[in-house]
């Protein structure tokens, strides 16, 4: 298993943060690692994420969990679970603030072969949560 995680406290409502998260077209404006998101961020939808870590390469994912203002999960990978990525966006209210966590876990039998080609996403995850915080707090 290989995983990445970043979190921050945001002084904004869960509703405002959620609205930003599901507006994929705006991601490149506040997430410095995002080239673009193709598709609609909604329950059961399939998306293509393009990142600056792997320019020009599409990462197809499915919105597998969608609990408005609380939690969203994207899943992607290879057939039969040979390689799987699960990215979770979690919003936890803390008084007048929200703890936001971005967490991704890679797993599956092919991880040993593929894992080395996955770039270190620690910095990208940190920039994502910082960008979301800036966007939501303005």
Structure confidence by residue, pLDDT tens digits, 84-93:
999 999 999 9
Beta-sheet pairing, 97-107 with 46-51 = unpaired
pTM of the model: 0.94
Structure confidence by residue, pLDDT tens digits, 44-83:
999 999 999 888 889 999 999 999 999 999 999 999 989 9
Order of strands, sheet of 97-107, starting from the edge strand that comes earlier in the sequence: 2-10, 97-107, 84-94, 71-77, 58-67, 46-51, 34-38
Domains and CATH numbers, the chain: 2-137 (3.30.530.20)
């Amino acid at each position: 298993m290989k995983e990445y995680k970043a979190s921050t406290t945001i002084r904004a409502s869960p509703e405002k943060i959620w609205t930003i998260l599901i507006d994929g077209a705006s991601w490149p404006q506040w997430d410095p690692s995002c080239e673009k998101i193709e598709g609609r961020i909604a329950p059961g939808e399939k998306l293509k994420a393009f990142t600056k870590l792997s320019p020009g390469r599409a990462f197809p994912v499915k919105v597998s969990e969608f609990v408005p203002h609380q939690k969203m999960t994207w899943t992607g990978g290879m057939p039969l679970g040979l390689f799987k990525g699960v990215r979770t966006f979690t919003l936890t209210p803390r008084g007048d603030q929200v703890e936001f966590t971005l967490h991704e876990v890679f797993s599956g039998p092919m991880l040993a072969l593929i894992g080395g080609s996955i770039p270190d996403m620690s910095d990208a995850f940190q920039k994502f949560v910082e960008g979301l915080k800036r966007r939501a707090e303005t």
